C-alpha cells in the first residue's frame, strides 16, 4: 500500500490557515493494476467525483459507486483494499454493507464518512469493525491519516 515506492513530504492547508505536514509513499510510476484499489461508496455525486481524484493523487487506484448495491454487483469487491463508505444512503446503508461484507467473509477495512454526528451510529460502526470514521466535511490530511492507519494495521 503506502509502503513501497518513493517517500514524499508536503504541506496541506488545514483549518484556520494552519499548515499540516504529511509524509506518504508514492505509487507514481506503477501501473493502475499494481496500485492498491480503494473504493468509494457514496450517494453524493460531488463526493463520487472529487474523492477518487484525491485518492489517485495519494497514489492509489480508485473507483466510485453510487450505492452499496452497485458496489456489491461490481467486480471490485475482491480487489478493494480499503472501502471509503458513507453511512446514510438510500436502500442499503453503509452499516448494512459492512454487515453484508462480513457475512460474505470479506475483510475489507472500512473508513466511514458521514455528516451525521450520532454517537450511537459511531459506536455501532466501530463495534462492527470500522477502521475509522470521519465527519463530513473532512480534510485531506484527516483522510490521509486514516488511510495510513489502515495501511499500518495490515
pLDDT tens, residue by residue, 22-72: 444 444 444 555 899 999 999 999 999 999 999 999 999 999 999 999 999
**C-alpha cell of residue 29:** 510510476
61: part of which helix (H) or strand (E)?
Answer: strand 61-65
Q: List all residues 6 or more positions away from 128 whose beta carbon is below 8 Å from its beta carbon.
A: 95, 98, 99, 102
pLDDT at 6: 34
pLDDT tens, residue by residue, 113-125: 999 999 999 999 9
pLDDT above 90 as % of the chain: 75
Burial of 58 (0-12, 13-18, 19+ CB in 10 A): buried
| 127/112 Cα distance (integer angstroms) | 13
CATH match for 31-153 among 3.30.360.10, 3.30.43.10, 3.40.50.2300, 3.40.50.720: 3.40.50.2300
| 26/59 Cα distance (integer angstroms) | 5
Does the pLDDT value for residue 11 go beyond 60?
Answer: no
Q: Where are the domains of the chain?
A: 31-153
- pTM equals 0.80
Amino acid at each position: 500500500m503506502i509502503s513501497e515506492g518513493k517517500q514524499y513530504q508536503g504541506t496541506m492547508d488545514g483549518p484556520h490557515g494552519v499548515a499540516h505536514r504529511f509524509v506518504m509513499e508514492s505509487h507514481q510510476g506503477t501501473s493502475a493494476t499494481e496500485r492498491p484499489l480503494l473504493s468509494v461508496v457514496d450517494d453524493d455525486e460531488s463526493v463520487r467525483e472529487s474523492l477518487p481524484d484525491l485518492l489517485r493523487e495519494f497514489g492509489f487506484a480508485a473507483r466510485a459507486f453510487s450505492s452499496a448495491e452497485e458496489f456489491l454487483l461490481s467486480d471490485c469487491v475482491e480487489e478493494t483494499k480499503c472501502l471509503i463508505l458513507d453511512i446514510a444512503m438510500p436502500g442499503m446503508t453503509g452499516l448494512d454493507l459492512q454487515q453484508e461484507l462480513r457475512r460474505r467473509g470479506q475483510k475489507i477495512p472500512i473508513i466511514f464518512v458521514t455528516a451525521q454526528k450520532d454517537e450511537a451510529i459511531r459506536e455501532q460502526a466501530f463495534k462492527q469493525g470500522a477502521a475509522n470514521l470521519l465527519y463530513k466535511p473532512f480534510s485531506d490530511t484527516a483522510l490521509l491519516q486514516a488511510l495510513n492507519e489502515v495501511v499500518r494495521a495490515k
